[in-house]
Structure 1
Amino acid sequence: MKNGWERKWKKVYCAGIMLLDLEDPSKVLGICKEPLLMPEASCELYNGFCNNVIFPCGMVEENGMTKIYYGAGDTVTCLATAKTEDLIRLCLEGNCEF
């Protein structure tokens, strides 16, 4: 390195999920141990602007399903869906210390 210092690492932006108490959201009831969403689709991995990036923008729960709207690669908006009960189970089974 002639001019300063060099940084090389692979950055991947993922999304996790946690369950908070409805009456007191400062209380964490559970955290999913693994990332809930990771970049996998081509628009999330290689788009020429911001690679390997997803970021949640909002969640809507209706009829037992949770819709997760998220940005991908800073260029598109996507939608992921899951059963709400499955997301709650993932959080409660996370075995994370908090």
Structure 2
Amino acid sequence: AVHHGGGVGIGLSIHAGMCLVCDGRREMDKRIVTVLTTDPGIGIVRHADAGYERAIEIAKKHKVWHPMIRDTWPDDRRKEIELIEKEVEKSLQK
């Protein structure tokens, strides 16, 4: 959907909205789940990043991966993330 920016600035921007096709095909299942979890997940991350306690609680409870909240890191990626973090710290000390 293409529409005006309703409430953004003075309404002169044009936005392309999200459209989701749910036609019953199996290959659409992953797309449907991805769309319906990613958009709200981004909202949680954005608010948690701004410091809203409720968003931080929800991110931790539901394991919404947020780079600034260690409790949300996926177990299978934790070592990799910590290694990257150490390398970044080393490079900043130089």
- Fold agreement, TM-score > 0.5: no
The structure in which a higher percent of residues are strand is: 1
The structure in which a higher percent of residues are helix is: 2
TM-score, normalised with respect to structure 2: 0.26
Structure number with higher relative contact order (C-alpha < 8 Å, ≥ 6 residues apart): 1
Task: Name which one, 1 or 2, has greater alpha-carbon Rg.
Answer: 2
